[in-house]
A and B are shown apart, each in its own frame.
Chain A
């Protein structure tokens, strides 16, 4: 649900990073935070456990610049990936404009990826959205690890609707901005259609 403020000439949109636990959602946000100028970003908030696992969400507000005189602001959120935090994941999807799914490329995490996409589909539906139509991109993260599956194999199993798909190494930033841009573009194109 985009928030269009004609008074201050701002468009605010919400992007949620989804995916299994320890897949790199928070690392995506941390990379964006570190590589963005302080004028373009707000404070990054992480509600995490003492062992740095996401407990509720991470949040990063980001200004992309102006479009037709409107400041375009994206609010990036991550969900907690661990299975038992499902209630929190549902809450964070409220009012979402676009989703980035961060898949873990390690072979042993494929089941967790598949389960998490199913969970995303269900939780979107509970919030009145449809994965088939919402702006969406897929990132195969951790491509630098030794035990990763082939990209085409992952694509075959995880790609839902021929959404834009990117290889990523969130720790070094590979694919991080490409994935974000892809969903941001889809959201703006949706806005144009309305």
Chain B
């Protein structure tokens, strides 16, 4: 497996979801998402069923990437927080552990101040989880380089995907 593939195991997902659930309650938010910088959704908590999470992940990543580009144009390393204010719902976007994007959707039951405060607190927890996940993945790779189930994919398996 290439070292820059992003691998998520059950234990890691559980811990991330737990942290998101806590953040959602503490911030009184509608929903909280964690998205990979390449646009894949990692984990979510809250009223997620009312959102198209795949589109949300892709557009958030595009938004962050474009803003990163803007930052570099004016000599900044990054803009670590983005905020979009709507009539009812608002989106707070921040970078966590350099590679993930934390998205908090909230309405007037919460506030920007509260959300910022809780996001700052949760970011530390999420960073620790990402660090331990990275260590775990490293150890796993060192212990058994053949552990990937994809090493056993056959040509027939691949062809079968395209046969329908």
Contact = CB atoms under 8 A, between A and B. Distances in A.
Nearest to A182: B162
Nearest to B163: A65
Contact of A91 (B2, B54, B69, B160): B69
A70 B161 CA distance: 11
Interface in B21-41: 36-40
A56 interface: yes
Contacts of B8: 3-7
Nearest to B52: A43
A94 to B, nearest CB: 6
B69 A87 contact: yes
Nearest to B53: A42
A59 interface: yes
A189 B149 CA distance: 13
Contacts of B49: none
B58 interface: yes
Contact of A42 (B52, B151, B152): B52
A192 B37 contact: no
A45 B66 contact: no
B162 A12 contact: no
A4 B133 CA distance: 13
How many residues of B sit at the interface, in one of the four size bands?
Answer: 35 or more
Given A189-B158, A194-B148, A7 B9 contact: yes
B66 A64 contact: no
Chain A interface mostly helix, strand, loop or mixed?
A: mixed
Given A67-B153, A194-B148, A14 B2 contact: no
Interface string A143-185: 0000000000000000000000000000000000000010011
B54 A7 contact: no
B157 interface: yes
Contacts of B153: 67-68, 188, 191-192
A87 B70 CA distance: 10
B162 A181 contact: yes
Given A42-B52, A67-B160, A188-B150, 7 more contacts: A1-B6, A2-B5, A3-B5, A67-B157, A68-B153, A90-B69, A184-B162
Interface of B: 1-2, 4-10, 12-14, 36-40, 52, 54-55, 58-59, 62, 65-66, 68-69, 148-153, 157-158, 160-162, 164
Interface of A: 1-8, 11-12, 14, 42-43, 45, 47, 56-57, 59, 61, 64-65, 67-70, 72, 75, 87-88, 90-92, 94-95, 181, 184-185, 188-189, 191-192, 194
26 contacts: A1-B2, A1-B5, A2-B6, A3-B8, A3-B40, A4-B1, A7-B10, A42-B54, A43-B52, A45-B58, A45-B59, A56-B62, A57-B62, A59-B55, A61-B54, A61-B58, A67-B153, A68-B157, A70-B149, A91-B62, A94-B38, A185-B162, A188-B158, A191-B150, A191-B153, A192-B152
